[in-house]
């Protein structure tokens, strides 16, 4: 089982979603299952999926860590969000909340 920080990238638009998970493979499966069924919690990501389709999205691991280290993963996730926001601009992130531990 692998824990860590991941990114879902829209290869058509360049926009990204950044998250963390205890079980990366399960989280990937959950994201794409929710997107396929039209019930993803992030409406921005859902709308893009509806527009571009599954082939426009890739899932990649940014940082791997042990499950007990994932407590610090929020810091890693926040660093990744901040880095991508500085590099690409906030409008290029599907993340809705500016902080990794917030869920809007």
Q: What is the CATH number of the domain that holds 50?
A: 3.40.1440.10
Residue 48 lies in a domain: yes
For residue 58, is pLDDT > 70?
A: yes
CA dist., res. 75 & res. 84, Å (int): 14
pLDDT at position 77, please? 84
CA dist., res. 41 & res. 4, Å (int): 20
User: What is the domain extent for residue 12?
Assistant: 3-92
Token duo for residue 62: 């940014």
Q: Are 96 and 15 in contact (CB under 8 A)?
A: no
Q: Are 36 and 54 in contact (CB under 8 A)?
A: yes
Confidence class for position 104, pLDDT limits 50, 70, 90 = very low
Residue 103 lies in a domain: no
* Residue with more model confidence, 75 or 10: 10
Residue 27 lies in a domain: yes
Average pLDDT rounded to a whole number, residues 77-93: 89
Residue 55 lies in a domain: yes
Beta strand 16-21 pairing with 57-65: unpaired
Domain count, the chain: 1
């Amino acid at each position: 089982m692998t824990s860590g920080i991941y990114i879902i990238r829209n290869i058509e638009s360049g926009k990204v979603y950044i998250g963390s998970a205890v079980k990366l493979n399960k989280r990937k499966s959950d994201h794409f299952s929710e997107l396929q069924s039209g019930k993803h919690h992030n409406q921005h990501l859902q709308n893009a999926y509806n527009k571009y389709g599954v082939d426009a999205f890739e899932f990649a691991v940014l940082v791997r860590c042990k499950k007990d280290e994932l407590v610090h993963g929020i810091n890693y996730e926040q660093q990744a969000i901040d880095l991508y926001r500085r590099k690409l601009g906030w409008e290029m992130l599907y993340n809705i909340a500016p902080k990794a531990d917030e869920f809007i």
